[in-house]
Structure 1
Amino acid sequence: MGSSVKGYGGEGDTEALPMAIAATPTGGSWLAWLGTDGKVHLGKLGCDDKLVGTPTSFTGIDLQDVQADATGGVLLLTRKGDCHTGPLCGGESSPCNQMVMVRFDNNGKTVWERQVSNLTSARGGYDDGARFVWWYQHHGRLAYDGSNYAAYFGVAITVKNGSCVDIHEGDRMQVVSKSGALLSGHNSFEVGCSHAWTSRIVWDPRAKKFAMVCATDNDCRIAQPNPYRTVAAGTCDGTLFGGDLVLAKSSGYWTAWSQGGTVRLSHFAGSAAASKTIKTGASSSHPHLVTYGSGKMLLTWQSGSTMKAQVYDSGTAAAIGKQFTIAAKDHDYQAFKTYADGSAAYPAAGSTSTSIKVARVLPS
């Protein structure tokens, strides 16, 4: 990549995310990675998954996601913010950072930037009403409706409590137009699930809406946010984690999630709870799920220094074929992305500190 890539190190929703990938309409990719230089780097990949041209870079202390369209794409990243003085009622919550969308063109150059948290020069993280990014659960994902980009991410919530403030944690969804304007509506909200982790979002062109799921200790479940709607019941024993969210074949959604190290697939539609949940043969706390080919989805999970994978029917969740191995190192919170040719790709740690391996599962 021509620069050092932040290593996997500790994996967790409180740790920095090393890399993310996005499919372009022409079959290539945008590959983003967090450098060791305090910047988020962005490079274009050809259809052979090799770097084309010279990467660009953006100020950012944590990478969240990248998505692409015909004229460029959007990065979701974290930048430094200010806490101000509070005072806090107790404990510590620093740092107080911003979540930012950066629009880039097909040359990887900045077009606009838009903060989707709400810090200003007058409102720091320790001021009542602040919605900011801290060290705690804060990762996020992007979705694109063909015109607007939605960011769904973990957020710190500052609430006045007498003469001091308390810091809580939840999630937030904001939508930004193609010109960089912050939009109301579009299923956006200030705070959804709380406490929340593994925020996942997808655009559903059939229902014409952004759909979301979170894992939450509010009744310990996988849920849809704002308002809460239970997808699948879980247990708050430290082993409840969400995976990914994809469109089901005809209607509704499949979400992968894990409890007690066993991976489940749950189908739900509208505001109803899951109509079907299956226990898969995967043993993992952090499964990945992605649309794959026509009418299929690909489930992957860590298996030692490699990944295991299984294809499922996206209508019935019936397994298709046998499990197979992907020769790439898994990361708990990175994601596969789907491509127009039916393949799916994943950015993984390379053999050196300046390289990235792209694992691609070709359509069957």
Structure 2
Amino acid sequence: MKLGVKVTGYGGQGDTEALPMAIAARPAGGSWLAWLGTDKRVYLGKLDCDDKLVGKPTSFTGIDLQDVQADSKGGVILLTRAGSCGSGPLCGGASSPCNTMHMIRFDDSGKQVWERQVTNLSSSRTGYDDGARFVWWYQHHGRLATDGKNYAAYFGVAITVKNGSCVDIHEGDRMQVVSASGNLVTSNKDAFEVGCSHAWTSRIVWDPRTGHFVTVCATDNDCRIARPNPYRTVAAGTCDGTLFGGDLVLSSKSGYWTAWSQGGTARLEHFTTGKSDTTVRTGAATAHPHLVAYGSKRMLMVWGSGSSMAAQVYDAGSGKAVGSKFTIAAKDHDYQAFKAFPDGSAAYAAAGSTSTSVRIARILPS
């Protein structure tokens, strides 16, 4: 699909690199496609039910794309903008840049309705001020979830702490909830200023059965996949540089499933409040598994395999494999996400054949 605007290439894939693309299902049919341009703009386009671009894309100032989610009135895009570090001084080392994370609310034509910063920099608080929460180069990606009214952003964050006459910069994660009118919902008990530390692969899902936003992280605090705020171990890992948290989905029964990888092998874990009660050793040789709801009672795990992706369907209740592994003819990105659609399909925005095109991989319900 031709976009007419250059898309940031896959380049080096990591939680410190820019994310090129994200897709979200429109309840009325079709999708919203967001992509990071090469001109410090984040673009947003509407796709029809054949995954073709409709009309002219809109764009917003942004240096990194994080995620996009949709509802019947439009949706929200999560992106990063340039911020200010101020003068410090740092106690040692370097930790720039000091950027900000923003939710942008858009209507069904793609035009901005409101924006809300979910970090806390301002004209009186820069990145090197005590108490600052900002986005830097290290482990900073985020995801969105919605309860149908409010939106929640869960992302990696830099943490500035005064240490005598200077400041130290630490790293963790942050979850903030924003109302339909664009205001921070400070009363939401699922939100937190800092959860896991040090943390990466922030994952979030809304659970309508319990009325809560549920989050998991990968953390070097005891080297595990964990629920934050307070810490509750989901799966024990090791800090050997291969611990990776995949995606998080609802179980078709109670609880949740998360995919993760250690030592280049992917696992599925089922949990409810904390410790996993079911482990599925998938046999998939991958460091970066994706997981997405696939209809009401199944889930789909996907991983990179050469120039394509491999996929396996699992029962979302028992965790048992359904059918055989199959191939998806699209290029994988370690940190991008598959998204579930109301018709039971799942879709992924992948690199196209040129720098101004995108390929939508869609797995239809069977």
The answer to whether the superposition gives a TM-score over 0.5 is yes
Question: Over residues 271-299 of structure 1, what are the superposed CA-to-partner deviations in whole Å (9 max), with x where a residue is unaligned?
Answer: x3000111102111110000002300000
Q: In the TM superposition, what is the alpha-carbon distance from 1:84 to its structure 2 partner? A: 0.4
Q: In the TM superposition, what is the alpha-carbon distance from 1:54 to its structure 2 partner? A: 0.5
Question: 1:212-291 maps to which residues of 2 (within 5 A)?
Answer: 212-270=215-273, 272-291=274-293
Unaligned runs of 5+ in 2: none
**207, 214, 217: which is aligned to 2:210?**
207
CA distance in 2, matches of 1:106, 1:201: 24
Match of 1:144 in 2: 146
**175, 192, 214: which is aligned to 2:195?**
192
What is the letter of the counterpart of residue 172 of structure 1? R
What is the letter of the counterpart of residue 103 of structure 2? M
What is the letter of the counterpart of residue 219 of structure 2? T
CA distance in 1, matches of 2:339, 2:29: 12
What is the letter of the counterpart of residue 130 of structure 1? A
8 Å CA contact retained: 1:186, 1:210: no
CA distance in 2, matches of 1:279, 1:131: 37
Question: 1:111-122 maps to which residues of 2 (within 5 A)?
Answer: 111-122=113-124
Match of 1:82 in 2: 84
Match of 1:132 in 2: 134
Match of 2:297 in 1: 295
CA distance in 1, matches of 2:132, 2:49: 43
Runs of 4 or more consecutive aligned structure 1 residues displaced over 3 Å after TM superposition: none
**50, 58, 61: which is aligned to 1:59?**
61
CA distance in 1, matches of 2:340, 2:52: 17
Q: In the TM superposition, what is the alpha-carbon distance from 1:314 to its structure 2 partner? A: 0.4
Q: In the TM superposition, what is the alpha-carbon distance from 1:204 to its structure 2 partner? A: 0.2
TM-score normalized with structure 2 length: 0.99
**351, 354, 358: which is aligned to 2:353?**
351
Q: Figure out how many residues of one structure are paired with residues of the other and give that number.
A: 363
CA distance in 2, matches of 1:33, 1:230: 34
RMSD of aligned Cα (Å): 0.5
Question: 1:329-348 maps to which residues of 2 (within 5 A)?
Answer: 329-348=331-350
1:198 is paired with a residue whose SS is strand
**14, 17, 30: which is aligned to 1:15?**
17
2:18 is paired with a residue whose SS is coil
8 Å CA contact retained: 1:5, 1:35: yes
Q: In the TM superposition, what is the alpha-carbon distance from 1:86 to its structure 2 partner? A: 0.8
8 Å CA contact retained: 1:175, 1:186: no
TM-score normalized with structure 1 length: 0.99
2:365 is paired with a residue whose SS is coil
Unaligned runs of 5+ in 1: none
1:200 is paired with a residue whose SS is strand
CA distance in 1, matches of 2:50, 2:303: 24
What is the letter of the counterpart of residue 289 of structure 1? L
CA distance in 1, matches of 2:160, 2:293: 37
Q: Percent identity?
A: 76
Question: Over residues 224-264 of structure 1, what are the superposed CA-to-partner deviations in whole Å (9 max), with x where a residue is unaligned?
Answer: 00000000000000000000000001110000000000000
8 Å CA contact retained: 1:78, 1:98: yes
CA distance in 1, matches of 2:61, 2:317: 42
